Chains A and B, each alone.
Chain A
């Protein structure tokens, strides 16, 4: 597949958005969807729909097989050992909540510490914060350096004999820093501490190999991987899924239910209570196939080229300050313009069809540390081109003009 032609696979780019061609630079927020994913949802609902895992009729069996096929695809895609290590959730947020809740219940006691980093998204902080109240645990934050990175030393500095779990992002959705996950896991495991990786930004942009990373948990959102909303994945080593208590209770996750007691179902059902996002799970298989067809190496290379090109152009502009300068960086450029608030930047860029995000990007801890109330962020996906970045740069100039800079 020619990376130049990929844009054509995404119907949204055939649309005029307020009379403009869409320059979509908000993929870190959510990615656009290729036709195969959209069609799969339509086809499933129009020709194949049934609930999964319950009835014995033809459609139910077929739907169950399709649903389980996605599990196998994800397992292969991230190189998990066992298909039952893949749990479907509504997104990375639910995956992290699942771990915080169940691990917290079983293993955290008053005074125990959970180690996060200053780069974390609110969804990798708030679920742990709940345990501050219910279990009186402490939360520690590994600190960023000048470049907006988390080094292995920063993690080492905050590990104590009270640290019970480390939960870190794979790739920062603000500075773009890619964390040294393998080293963090090695260090943590040498002290018997499990590691959860918030892979929300990792999964769409980096090659994933659970055997190589060796982390205990990895959280993914489907909608950032060219897939539907409402679907995510928790990868967890089987020993944890066997060991931890169930998360939500309901149909599908039980073995036997009596007035006097309940026994829970086997994996993966144990963690998938109630009717799941069936159509989305089935369509998510198409996202995985799409990414496999393009090739994650090609995606990485393409986005790196865009990043280098974008950084080069924006750095030449004296009024732009780029947030963070990590050596190992994904396709995210957060920036500020002296004299223009990020929200005004976003509104003015939008007028040219350039979609970026402005705000704290659900990372208030980081923004407070950087002493910035808000930043503007351009983030890349497989469909972006150098033309998109040229348009970004042009629209930024327009922004300065409007503000008489």
Chain B
């Protein structure tokens, strides 16, 4: 049985194919169109999934769609009815796309895919819940989903048992943790639905001096439910988010080109504090209601890795599993799994242990690409040679583009499309920023550590974290060994990897340990600033030649930037936020 899951038209468009209960392919549309957070119909992602699954569209038994479009339209209409006549411009901007595609989802799907089968519509937060629980390692677990907004819901909770999910209660628009976070993101001069993680990265630099100001805006109950004073927000009727009253309370909106001041850092710290307070209250309430020791989470707010790392300390939950594509991209997987396991009633047999669900490219394909473009390269004779050379290059402080196997699913580079560098070098953060990333100085770089060494370096309650979704403190005595990946508060958003999960990636880490004494590398995403993570060999080569990446290790090929001077250019000219 083949089930295709689709999410699109709002945030990250994506597709996922389940074959007989196994996720065989999943990818975000942005990776193919090279448009970050592309929301358009994921035709490229669908075509990839079908190709990877070795099927054609006629062989798809059901398509699962990630929301109920008419319910969402009802909410939108309610906003306009309530806010008339203030909402005119928002109505004017939004209605054409509703009439053109969002209200015609079944026919759009049939037309774009030439599909004649059934399309099933799964409520948005149910799709989030399914994306976490149905592919988690648990037979039963409590579930919390928190995002900006779906149809009406902005958060929901319940539990999963076997192949069934029961959602019990929900928070509704306009009260939304995700929209609060986005409002502050906009106020701090960063892009909404994109740069929320920057605000999270900024928060440890500040003190929660604005906590009481946030308390004026948000009424938090002991059960974690929230109510907003909507006078502070404009998002229910405008394209902008903070209102005049919000600006009176927190000061003017920061211009993106202005310096980030201590005040901005304090606002970020206060927001993070209030977000954690809400989440932990929600989770403690959820535990009281379900008494289950395992927790599954999804929704954009579940990407708040700082809060995630504190869950087991602040709640009775013993184990947490979060969908790596926790934002809306993941709901395509959730919709497919819900159709297969819950609606059709097939027993669960897939646990998502790896996020390598995207396209891969054969040696032949890459060789052709290199030869046709007259690119100078060397070929490694063995995996051992590849691992040794890569580790040495990193140890010698070169920046290495790492392109191996199937692309990652979700927003994080996890050792398939990564940039690797020396975590033991104090200056590496500056070198990376100067050569490649050009990003805000306050943003940390993330460490990847071999699984067996994680306890030596981190104060952590589990020995694996393959998806980089949790921030944990480094052990105090180890911080000076890997200065480039220790955030200002002594933490790191780590990824663990093992020989079984990714032998070459793991091999490089262990080989690097032989040279440097530490089993940790800097792992950052392989992309030009503001662009999606690279997908194809062409993207990877172009990214290297447009940035200061020194070497590209692409499958068994080694390409040196300086050997190909004719293709060099400066990507900063096209870089965006």
User: Are A and B interaction partners?
Assistant: no
Question: Hey, which bits of chain A sit against chain B, CB under 8 A?
Answer: none
Question: Hey, which bits of chain B sit against chain A, CB under 8 A?
Answer: none
